Amino acid sequence: MKRIGWFYLGGGLLIVGLCSGFYFWLFAPISRAGTPQLFTVQSAESITSIARRLEEGQLIRSAWGFKAYLKISGKVVVQPGTYEISTKDSLIKIANLIASGDTTNVTLTIPEGYTLAQIAEQVGQKNIADAAEFTRLVKDFPPDYEFLKVRPTGQTSLEGFLFPDTYRLIKGNPTLAIQQILDNFSSKYTTDIKPKLGDKNLYEIITVASLIEREVKTTEDMVMVSGVIYNRLKIGMKLDIDATVRFIINNWKDPLTRDDLSVDSPYNTRRYAGLPPGPICNPGLAAIEAALQPADHDYYYYLTDYDGVTHYAKTLAEHNQNKLQYLL
């Protein structure tokens, strides 16, 4: 009887040992050393799909174990987003991470009219990427998209093409972040811009839109100011848009001095007739549509009073009268 008892005891211990070994093998990290990888959970993706991809990517040993742990622990809802995962992470740690929603994504909002410099500053502040590295990339970006091929020879900047919107971007990958923003512009270009473009030059349209974006705020005024810009361009009249000077000196808040207004740059529309060499900011869709479809009128002047109301004039005399009435 004693031998039988010891037999059952030994057998039981063996089974416990095997089960324990299997448990630790199943849930243990793939390796003790590992490089962090980015793993993206798609919106509405099933747990079965996530588990399979984790196993195929050799981040966990068992898709079944992943699903079993989530079910046993009651974590049946996983959060979409991009996660930083390493092969030195245990299956339990990976499952808890994906269930927690602690992604590497960061929300970035690009307001209408922001410049590359302002966007780069935000990118740096939110630790999406180093601001200097982001700036280097956006100032020399290859023509990987159809709409970027319109840039004149020598123009490699993305100024004007980083579409204003709210994005969920991945930390530490500035190239991917830029591509995500450009993908958004590509979508708007296909659905809203290209059908109205006709034989117009896209780069000039974006340049005009950038001027409009920085000059006025309402959709009605955007269309009106667009008409003023085109009226002046037709007769070779200088645009006299102070925003171009602000772009040159990167001063969007403080009053401009006489020295500022006379700065020698092809972007200075107070000194040189015609459009500046390129966009001065990244315009939103309303400004782009205004540049595509300007109002038909015979105004050549405008000003915005202290209440934000824009007043238009056909002649310099009328414009000077508006100055006396609304600005003094």
Q: For residue range 207-238, what is the model confidence (pLDDT) as tens digits?
A: 999 999 999 999 999 999 999 999 999 999 99
* pLDDT at residue 17 greater than cutoff 50: no
> What pLDDT does residue 22 have?
47
- Give bridge partners of residue 312 from the DSSP assignment: 302
Exposure letters 295-328 (e unless 16+ CB within 10 A, then b): beeebbbbebeeeeebbbbeeeeebeebeeeeee
The fold of 28-102 is: Dna Ligase; domain 1 (3.30.1490)
- Asked whether 137 and 174 are in contact (CB, 8 A), the reply is yes
The fold of 104-193 is: Dna Ligase; domain 1 (3.30.1490)
- Return mean pLDDT, the chain: 89
Terminal-residue alpha carbon distance, the chain: 112
* pLDDT at residue 101 greater than cutoff 80: no
What is the pLDDT averaged over residues 45-64? 91
Q: One-letter amino acid identity for 251? A: N
Torsion, CA 321, CA 323, CA 326, CA 327, rounded to 10: -150
Lowest pLDDT segment from 42-51, 180-189, 303-312: 42-51
pLDDT digits (tens, 9 = 90+) for 242-287: 999 999 999 999 999 999 999 999 999 999 999 999 999 999 999 9
Evaluate if pTM is beyond 0.85: no
Decide if 28-102 and 104-193 have a common fold: yes
* pLDDT at residue 309 greater than cutoff 90: yes
> What pLDDT does residue 181 have?
95
Q: In the chain, what are the domain boundaries? A: 28-102, 104-193, 199-294, 297-327
pLDDT band (50, 70, 90) for residue 77? confident
* pLDDT at residue 204 greater than cutoff 70: yes
Distance CA 136, CA 140 (A): 6
State which H helix or E strand residue 221 sits in.
Answer: helix 219-235
Dihedral (CA of 26, 83, 44, 95) sign: positive
**186: which 2 tokens?**
């590509």
**175: which 2 tokens?**
């190239």
Q: One-letter amino acid identity for 232? A: R
